[in-house]
Every structure is written in structure tokens, then in C-alpha cells.
Amino acid sequence: MGNHALSYGAKLSRAQVISAYPITPQTEVVELLSRMCASGELKAKFIKVESEHSAMASLIGASSVGVRTFTATSSQGLAHMHEMLHWATGARTPIVMGNINRAFAPPWSVWTEQNDSLSQRDTGWMQLYAQNNQEVLDSVIQAYKVAESLDLPAMVILAAFVLSHTSETVEMPEQEKVDEFLPPYERKYKIDPDEPHAFGGLTNPDNYFELRYKIQKAMEEALKKWEEVGEEFEMMFGRRYGLVETYKVSDAKSLIVSSGTIASTARNAVDSLRESGVKVGFLRIRVFRPFPAELIRGILSSVDKVIVIDRNIGFGASGIFYQEVKAAMYNEKNTPPIFGVVTGLGGRDVSSKDIIEIYQDVIRMKEPKSDIIWKGLKI
Amino acid sequence: MEGSKDMKLKIPEEEIMGCGNLACQGCGATLAMRHTLKALGRNTVIVLPACCWSVIDGPFPHSLVNVPLFHTAFAAGPSTASGIKAALEIQGKDTNVVAWTGDGGTYDIGLGTLSGAAERNDDMIYVCYDNEAYMNTGIQRSSSTPLKAWTTTTPVESPKENPKKDIISIMAAHRIPYIATASIAYPEDMIEKFKKAKDIKGMRFVLVFSPCPTGWKYAPQLTVKLARLAVQSRIFPLVEIENGIKWKLTKEIARPSPVADYLKPQGRFKHLNSKDIAEIEQNVEADWNRLLQKIEK
Amino acid sequence: MAKKSDKKIIFKKEKEMPPFAISFYSMEYNKTGIWRNFRPVIDYDKCTFCLICWKFCPEAAIKLKKTKVKGREKLQPVIDYEYCKGCGICWEECLTKAIDIEEESD
């Protein structure tokens, strides 16, 4: 299952300190890692913390000493560690975390929605939305490589139940190859009694600005790094992942844009539409932070219409991927009209038929009348 | 006895803490750190959640203490320390990891985190320097503030309505290997306790009584005197607890000083009338007697 | 070892800065002696070299100097006026009242 793909990703990456608190639907990640640590299959220390806030705090400490760290969480847990997510970025700790997209309470829900991870989009964590279990496992290994080269934390995100609890066949990379691809973590400025420093001391306005600039610069470098690491990974393991993934876009007149598990469904919808002669393509945004604006501009500028499907909502505004895609296109000379669709919140199923209907509704509109087109709402 | 002419220095001579700190004049917390570092030595990492010491150590890119010092979030002291210790062990280093917190981070916002680390018996020395209020943010009450004290959030019209939280009993309930109370007025005792703690594995908790001239409103030269009076009047007993069950009194107070002597010099108690003081005296007596019940004969 | 500086370091360029906020320098630049209104002065005729003042200084601003008193090796407390904040703890605690408090001259 997707959860286990995360566990195996952490195991193959030889995570050294794992600190996690259970939350549905992440529990299987930590349970499997617990078993692996207990049996010695994974030589790591597993700190059974009493809250997610403590999970992230302990990993920030461990990572600052210079060891590889891993955790996983979801919705409420992710929100509980929000303060420490900012801390992980400021402390420049390359922690890798699996996040299972689950809807926020109240009311209680365990089903999928992307608001939990997207609420953290400004924390300085790199964010990657996976569409199948193979990608989950591979992305954990890639995430360590990118994170440790830039000292920025990263989260590998997958949908609750649709991916976390769905079993798919996954090719397990060989440990020796992973070791070659991902050498042990070396940290330059670390907690070391032989070389004492104070970490995170009070910084006045005269120098804080520059430290923030450095984080942004690292994020910008990450755009290149993800592609580099993607190429290296392909050479080593035969599977290619980029910042985005295109499907039948080369001759497309209109484009559907989405992320995560909606992607697989959207590709089916694209195939169906193509069969009826429609020239539509699909763009999957895989790496959301840093946002691959330039790549998106290149792809979107050659189509006549864009439909962004969001399984999330920025209350008071609109779907979040829609906002970011629109912003990326704003200053372009020839930007197509961009339509934002919000669907599937709280785990409501999004089927191929739904996506085909979305396309057929939107294609009749000349330009968007509002920022949100609701799909599948019972009103 | 202190002050004998040929006193051999029971306190290590080397200063590990540097000069030029940003603390107020007469700060008890600074004296506490000075002696703690003497006891533990340079093979120490200080984990520092939000508290006065977050400022005292100095601004980026400077530091006072000459040992690694890791600033962390308010509630995250013990959890960060757990992670640091785990990582240092993986690297084969046997380093003292000290979570250095104020009473705010211990008694209030960090209590859950502290309880978690204590229950896991994570290997660290947890020090709470207790100045009995949220001093760094400007003297607001904490659950460590004593009964009837003035703070900015418990003004004289409505002084602190609840007694000081009994953090020592809470820690004892966790059955951790070592708990001690210390006062900056008794540095030899404090250093001995830290040296003892240093050689024990698991969670060690030391509560250091640290008067604050700014927050308690007294002339700064009285810091050590008040720390001494607190012990001598039985308000702050000096104890050691092994495994949460074996309680030891490390300083017998056969003839206690009057509680009023301790309260009078402090502006935060200026508003007390004789009835209040009598009530406080009764509480101190009752608490002391209850403590004696726990002490192992 | 922490580097010394004569004043608080403010980096002029982003390139000079470490990747995040870590310390390289000591706090010695911060001469807290200028905070004083009153200065403690040790009268070595009354001093018994018990070192209580050294013990209780929160600033570590009392240094120990090896000296000989009547042929015996002693450690002599010497106040470092660059850092002494004038809190008065040494004056209060001294058992033989060997420390006087004087108003600081400008």
C-alpha cells in the first residue's frame, strides 16, 4: 500500500532517526517502520513521541546534529506541527516527511483532500504530489537527495485511502544502488561539542532579511536540482520523474491541469475525449514547491483553454493550484483563459466521467465567469 | 562552613560561560547557568526553548556559552533534546544534553512535551530555572507564580489566586531516575547535584530556584540572599528523589527563618497584609509537613 | 573556539553570512561595565580570600589571580570592571564587609 511505500522509501534511504505520532490514515507507515527498527532490519532510532509537534521538534534536533531523519503525518497532525515546519526551514534541516492528504476537522473526516498540505505551502518545505505507490517510494529517495544538497525540508504527499491504503505492485530498488545514489548525509554546520555554535540566535532586522533571501534562493535552485536528480534517478533505476508530467500535450488545443491521484483518472478521461476527436491534453503538477512557473508557462502558452482541477480550496479565494497557475501566466503576452474547478473535497469520488463532464461544461464557456466552478456539489 | 580562610575551592575554577551577557543586573538565571556549566563541563549541548536565556546568550552571530546551544520553540525543549541525544548516540558521542528551560516552558506550555520525554525516560538533564513568572515577555503569571504574588496579569486588585504548581511531585510521578531541587544560593550543593545527575542515564530533572530582581521588584544585590531565605524559610526545600519514590532532604532546616523576612523585600508581595502573610506561613508549614511524610527515614 | 570582535557583527553582504543563523563570535564585545551606576571596590586589607564574591557573581566578572599572602598561595578575587554591571551581589554577600559600593564617576 502507499503507506508502506513510504516506509520502504525511508528504509532504503537509511533514515537514522524516525520520530512519528500515529494518525489515520498514516498509521501503517509508522507501524511498519517500528517493526523494521525493532527487528534491526532498519538501523534507526525510533522515538515514540507524544505529539506531532514533538515529532518535528525532535527531528529538527537530530537533523541539526547531522543524521538522516524521517516522519509521516496527516491533516490534524500536520497542523499541530505547523510551528515546527517553519522552524525546520529556518534551521535548514533536510527532513523528509510523508504526508497523507486528509480533510481537516471539524467535522471529522478521514478522506482525502489537499487542504492540509497546501495550508503549509508558505512554510518553506518543498512539496511533491505523488500519483502512484511506485512514485511515492522513488520520491522519498529523490527527496533526500534534493533536500540534503540544499538543506531544505521536503514532503512527499499522497492521497488518503486512494493511495495510502491501495495496494499496487512496486519495484523495490536494490539497496546497493540506493546507497550509491544516496550517500550518507554530511552536514557542514552541525551540533558538535568539539565545534560549538549557537543555532538560531536573536537576529535583528539588519540581518534577518538576508537569511530569508537565502532560503528563497535555495528553493529556486531546487527547481534545477529536482530535474537533475530526476535524470540521475532514471539512469540508475530506469524510471523518470520531473517537476511536471505531460500527457498528450504536444498537439493539444486545451489542457486539463491537476495533481495527485486525480491525474490517473484524468488521463483516462483524456483518452476517452481523444477517442471522440477532442484535442485535449493533461498536465500533472508533481513538484508544487518550488512552483515550476517557467515550465508551466512554456506548456500553457500554446493552448487555447486551460482547466485546473483542484481537490482543495483556499477559502475566500479559489482553488489553490488554480491561483498559482493563473499567477504564473498573468504577465505572459498570450495567456489562454484559465478555468478553476473545485471538486472531490472531503474524499468525494472524482471519476473519469466527472472529468469528461467538467471538460464538456467548460469548453462551451468563452471565459471564466467566476473563480470557482463547483463540480459534484449536491445543490 | 562558607568563608573559612583556607577554603579549598569546591567549585571548579574554569569559567565556561563567557562575559558580556545581556541579562539584567543580578540575574539569578545567569548565575545558575554559570555553575551548571562548571559542573557539566564542555562536553555539553544546551537546548534552549523560548525563555529569558534565549536573549541572554546574545544575538546572531554571537554566543555567550562556549558550548553548542540550540534555540528551539517554546514547547519544544524536551522533544528537541530527545532528537539531539538520539542523533549524538548514533554518532557514537557521549555528550551531556541539557534542556535549559524557564518555568513557563516547564510548568505550562511545555508540560506535555516534558511528560512525554519523562515517560520515555529519554536521556537528558532537564533543568528548569524557576523565576516564577513569564519574565522574558514582561512578568506575566505562570503556574509557577506563588500564591498572592503580583504579576502584570495578576495585578494587586486580583493577585495570583492559585498556589504554585507542585512540579516536583508531577515529575516524581513519572518515576524518572533522578530529580533534585537546587538554589543559586547554595552553588556547592547545586554543582554536586549536577555532577551526580551527569553520571546517571535517563531523564534527570533539576529545578533551580532563580530569583529575578526585575520581576520580583527588589534591589538586585539581594538575589542570592533571597535564594537563601527561600530555602531557610522552608518555602523552597532542597530535595533529591531517586526513581520517583525515594525522597531525600538534602538540607535540614531545623530553625526556619521567618517567611515574612523572605516576602518583605520583594515588591511583588508589597500589597500583602498581615492576614495574607499568616495564610502563606500556614501553607508553608503544611507543605513542609507533607514533604516530611514523603522523606525516607 | 569563538572568535573575538570589538563590536556586534552586522554582516554587510549576504555572501559573507553563514547559510542560517549560527554563531561564530563571543559576547566579549558587549562591555556591560558601562551599565553601572555604582561600582564595588574590594578592600584587600579586609578581604579573607574566601571567594564568596567570585562564587556569586552572575557575570563571571570577578577573576581569580594567583597571589601570595603571608607566604601562602592564595587565589585573589579581582573585579573586571569592563563587565561588572554593579548589581551589588558581591557587596551584599561579603562576610567581612570588605567590599565598598561607590558611585560610578562618569
Among A50, A58, A193, beta carbon nearest to B68: A193
CA distance A153 to A85: 9
B19 within domain boundaries: no
Fill in the amino acid letter for B210: S
Q: Do B66 and C26 touch (CB under 8 A)?
A: yes
Q: At CA B280, angle to CA B275 and CA B282, rounded to 5?
A: 95
> pLDDT band for position B15 (50/70/90)?
very high
- Domain total in chain B: 1
**To which residue does cell 511528560 refer?**
B115
Query: How many cross-chain Cβ pairs, B to C, lie less than 8 Å apart?
Result: 128
User: Which CATH class for the A2-237 domain?
Assistant: alpha beta
pLDDT of residue A185: 97
Q: Is residue B63 part of a domain?
A: yes
Does A307 contact B at CB distance below 8 Å? no
Q: How far apart are CA C51 and CA C64, in angstroms?
A: 9
Nearest-angstrom CA–CA distance, C27 and B100? 19
On whether the CB atoms of residues B260 and B232 are closer than 8 A, the answer is no
Contact A57 B88 (CB under 8 A): no
Q: Are the Cβ atoms of C17 and A214 closer than 8 angstroms?
A: yes
Whether B242 contacts B230, CB under 8 Å: no
Residues 13-52 of C with CB under 8 A from B: 18, 21-32, 35, 48-52
pLDDT of residue B5: 41
Are A262 and A270 a contacting pair, CB within 8 Å? no
Q: Would you state the CATH architecture of domain A244-375?
A: 3-Layer(aba) Sandwich (3.40)
Whole-number pLDDT of residue B6: 42
Does residue B22 belong to any structural domain of this protein?
no
Residue A253 DSSP one-character state: S
CB contact under 8 A, B72 and A201: no
**Cβ–Cβ below 8 Å for A201 and C23:** yes
- Domain ranges across chain A: 2-237, 244-375
Tell me which residue in C10, C20, C23 faces A211 most closely, judged by beta carbons. C20
Grid coordinates of A253: 488545443
**Which residue has cell 547557568?**
B33
* Closest residue to B83, CB basis, from A61, A198, A204: A61
Domains along chain C with CATH numbers: 31-103 (3.30.70.20)
B15 assigned to some structural domain: no
The yes-or-no verdict on residue A354 having pLDDT over 60 is yes
Q: Å from A22 to nearest chain C CA?
A: 31
- What is the pLDDT at residue C106? 66
pLDDT tens digits along C43-68: 999 999 999 999 999 999 999 999 98
- Work out the average pLDDT over A275-286: 97
Decide whether A2-237 matches A244-375 in CATH topology: yes
β-pairing verdict for B96-102 and B44-48: parallel
| Whole-prediction pTM | 0.96
Give the domain range for residue B160.
28-294
C-alpha of A278 from chain center: 31
Q: What is the pLDDT of residues A141-168, one digit of tens each?
A: 999 999 999 999 999 999 999 999 999 9
Q: Is the pLDDT at A200 greater than 50, yes or no?
A: yes
- Average pLDDT of the segment spanning B148-172: 96
CB contact under 8 A, B34 and C58: yes
In this prediction, residue C82 carries a pLDDT of 97
Cβ <8 Å between C31 and B20: yes
ipTM of the complex: 0.96
Q: Is C30 on the interface with A (CB under 8 A)?
A: no
Strands (E), chain B: 44-48, 69-71, 96-102, 124-130, 178-183, 203-209, 239-242, 246-249
